[in-house]
Amino acid sequence: MIKITGNPVIYDGQTVSTANDQQKALRANTMAYDILNAHNTSTDPNLFKLKVDAMASHDITYVGIIQTARASGLKEFPLPYVLTNCHNSLCAVGGTINEDDHAFGLSAAKKFGGEYVPAHMAVIHQYTREVYAGGGKMILGSDSHTRYGPLGTLGIGEGGGELAKQLLGKTYDIAPPRVVAVNFQGEINPGVGPQDIALSLIGAVFAKGIVKNAVLEFIGDGISKMSIDMRNGIDVMTTETTCLSSIWQTDEKTRHWLAVHGRENDYKQLTPNTPCYYDDFIDIELSKIRPMLALPFHPSLALPIHEFIQSPQEHLRGIGLRAQELWQLDSPPDLTDKLIDGKFTVDQAYIGGCSGGLPNNIIAAAKILNGGNTGNGDFALSVYPASVPMGVALTQELSALTAAGAMIRSAFCGPCFGAGDVPRNGGFSIRHATRNFPNREGSKSSEKQSAYVALMDARSIAATALNGGVLTAADTLPNPPVEDTGESYRFDDSSYRARVYRGVNKPNADETLRFGPNIADWPEMPALPNDIVVAVASALYDDVTTTDELIPSGETSSYRSTPLRLAEFTLSRRDPEYVKRAKAAQECSIGSVVVALRPGDGSAREQAASCQRVLGGMANIAREYATKRYRSNLINWGMLPFICTELGTESGEIQLQAGDMVEIKGVRDGLLAGQREFTAKVNCTGGNESIIKLALPNLTDDELHILLAGCLINANRA
């Protein structure tokens, strides 16, 4: 089904052969490097300094980004900047907080010259697909699922600091990335959808780390048999592989899709200029992929649905053990009560957002449920089309879903991160969404709540709904739906023309920014001192620590515009004592540090770092960082991203604990002198002392400047 070569190759358009280091120059022939080189302003072959074509942010992130840029002297947006309102849309938590943020966003779009999409109009990535993505472009977004590869665009999700740099005329700086080919062959079987293919890929590569911070380049004859929506649905999930970005070869279907959306001139034919060099090569035989599900609590825990159905008790036991470890329970939860007559029954289902709420998924679900119904028991299905124009175009399909018992909602990302359709305690939800991290569905382990999410494709979700909640793979239906080509889809942007504020290149300096009581400026951040003493405020030895654990999603999003209030939630679901320890260190005029084996998987949200910083955080110590964007967030907020390769839980490895004191002398002078390795003295809570080695590898000059200044805001002011 999926074959990973495991070494660099030369691809000639048909076959691959083993490559050597001398052939790396042929990496320039990839689609990825064609776009990167076109946006590069650097003469240094070891560093790309990129200027992007457009940016997009949603209402959890844009206030902080604009506030950061304002503090650094922002006068106007120098490029198209789209502000969508698809995360805090409900305005139902925290009083006026969310709508105050929206009012700020509209006033900022008017003042600085941006584009403002009102709440419930479109989710961030669907709007960007429909209006901005096109051949050969680069788009930066403050959301980790910024992916527009099938339309010929390199989309990259980053923390807010990187977007603020673009607003200030600076560049997005990265080392030349690895490029990994994903070669699709064959044809997708009826009943199999984009989520099935994506989960298969994620399950095959995530644990191996082979695509971490790489660009995935999708090629192969199998692409021509996919609709653009099928491609978009696969593409947006590539974030869960930990890759940097993605790009696809384009064809006449791409041209047609752009033409339907009134932008045929944005089409550009993209294909590798062979021979080209790939750092790895992944073959996927599409006909062998069956409907999949990703078990709680990560998209990489993927297996075919039929395998789960064959031995549900074994898999439910595994879920219980993971929950017990995550939430430190006395005994694992018993999920076997969901086995009714030997069949696994779920409580809830969701199709929506940037991955699920696409036309082909909704059309397929409507075909499956047409003439049937979801039943009037515990099971419930919600469907969220990803944009208003899409909902208008799919009126017939949405009517069929409503007649079958599904609830149709507005364009909203909330259920994907715990702000809508929260299951009951102990509930099991199946979702065509992007993530199923712990508590991401909205439950609070701190209040003894637990719920479970498995990721599935809309087709199998609809098949499950047709059977009243009994888990069902779509390819086992008598007549599973054949993929819709999208040829009949008609896009009408009347609602956008009526409601979206389009002020790109039309700044109005006289416009007054509208502030609510929850919108606060960033507190002052100190410059990097020469000698550092930090207290370990949290030590996490999980295989990976997600940004959801570092700063929870859900109801906390309402406080994203108030740095100090939001900081109270830092690590609240993973280490509830963190805030108290960090504040205690701050009161003693010393800094704090978070220790984790591999922090930063998941969301791009910069608050995972900024919340530590406003509580006195000065560094992270990790064996490695899960993503480039989390490391960048640390640097942009003035925290040293230390690497300690000997950190771990095995005998003989370094095991720092909460309460330990770490002292590093001469950091500032050393960094200025080119030093990147430091000796630190650790005073352990038990009274022992030890010496550890810490490193700050691969710092660029700009990153060094930011760290010395204490944060991006300070560096820009200077």
Q: What is the CATH number of the domain that holds 693?
A: 3.20.19.10
Coil vs helix vs strand at 428 = strand
**Does residue 292 fall inside a structural domain?**
no
65 neighbors 74 (Cβ within 8 angstroms) = no
- Residue 333 scores a pLDDT above 80: yes
Cis-peptide into 275, omega within 30 deg: yes
Residues 561 and 700 in one domain: yes
- Residue 20 scores a pLDDT above 80: yes
Residues 603 and 470 in one domain: no
- Quick one: pLDDT at residue 334? 86
Residues 458 and 359 in one domain: yes
The amino acid at 375: G
What is the distance of C-alpha 359 from the center of its chain? 22
Residues 471 and 558 in one domain: no
Question: Structure pTM?
Answer: 0.94
The residue whose two tokens read 């078990």 is 295
Res. 89 pLDDT band, cuts 50 70 90: confident
Question: Which of 153, 175, 197 is a domain's end point?
Answer: 175
**Does residue 708 fall inside a structural domain?**
yes
Q: Between β-strands 280-285 and 343-344, what pairing exists: parallel, antiparallel or unpaired?
A: unpaired
- Quick one: pLDDT at residue 78? 97
Q: What is the pLDDT of residues 395-434, one digit of tens each?
A: 999 999 999 999 999 998 888 888 889 899 999 999 999 9
Question: Which of 156, 175, 194 is a domain's end point?
Answer: 175
**Does residue 70 fall inside a structural domain?**
yes
HSE-up (13 A, CA, CB side) for residue 711 = 25
Number of independent structural domains in the chain: 3
What mean pLDDT, rounded, does the chain reach?
94
Strand order in the sheet with 16-18: 16-18, 9-11, 276-278
Give the Cα separation of 51 and 49 in Å (integer): 7
Q: What is the pLDDT of residues 244-263, one digit of tens each?
A: 999 999 999 999 999 999 99
Residues 430 and 541 in one domain: no
Residues 536 and 641 in one domain: yes
Give the Cα separation of 102 and 89 in Å (integer): 9
Domain that residue 151 falls in? 50-175
Residues 439 and 550 in one domain: no
- Residue 94 scores a pLDDT above 90: no
**Does residue 560 fall inside a structural domain?**
yes
The amino acid at 686: G
The residue whose two tokens read 């047609």 is 256
Element (H, E) at 19: none
Q: What is the largest CA-CA distance in the chain?
A: 73
Element (H, E) at 312: helix 312-327
Q: Which of 284, 285, 221, 277 is nearest to 249 (CA)?
A: 221
Residues 568 and 636 in one domain: yes
Q: Could you give the angle at the alpha carbon of 534 between the alpha carbons of 715 and 638, nearest 5°? A: 15
141 neighbors 244 (Cβ within 8 angstroms) = no
- Residue 570 scores a pLDDT above 90: yes
Give the Cα separation of 638 and 524 in Å (integer): 12
Residues 564 and 423 in one domain: no
**Does residue 328 fall inside a structural domain?**
yes
Q: What is the pLDDT of residues 471-491, one digit of tens each?
A: 999 999 999 988 877 778 899
- Quick one: pLDDT at residue 625? 95
Q: Can you state the percent helix, strand and coil of the chain, rounding each to 5? A: 35, 20, 45
The residue whose two tokens read 């984009």 is 194
**String of DSSP letters for 345-362:** B-SEEEEEHHHHSSHHHH
- Residue 204 scores a pLDDT above 80: yes
- Residue 558 scores a pLDDT above 80: no
Tokens of 425: 């305690």
Residues 457 and 330 in one domain: yes
165 neighbors 178 (Cβ within 8 angstroms) = no
Q: Between β-strands 677-683 and 661-664, what pairing exists: parallel, antiparallel or unpaired?
A: antiparallel
Average pLDDT over residues 209-233: 96
Q: What is the pLDDT of residues 665-684, one digit of tens each?
A: 999 999 999 999 999 999 98
**CA distance between the termini of the chain:** 54
Residues 454 and 336 in one domain: yes
Res. 276 pLDDT band, cuts 50 70 90: very high
Q: What is the pLDDT of residues 643-671, one digit of tens each?
A: 999 999 888 899 999 999 999 999 999 99
**Residues near 416 by Cβ (< 8 Å), separated by ≥ 6?**
352, 353, 431, 433, 434, 435, 440
Question: Which of 175, 206, 228 is a domain's end point?
Answer: 175
- Residue 694 scores a pLDDT above 90: yes
- Quick one: pLDDT at residue 97? 85
List helix spans (H) across 628-675.
628-636, 667-672
Give the Cα separation of 595 and 364 in Å (integer): 46
| Residue 145 belongs to domain with CATH number | 3.30.499.10
Residues 559 and 687 in one domain: yes
**Does residue 366 fall inside a structural domain?**
yes
- Quick one: pLDDT at residue 332? 82
Q: Which of 470, 448, 435, 635 is nearest to 546 (CA)?
A: 435
HSE-up (13 A, CA, CB side) for residue 534 = 31
**Does residue 130 fall inside a structural domain?**
yes
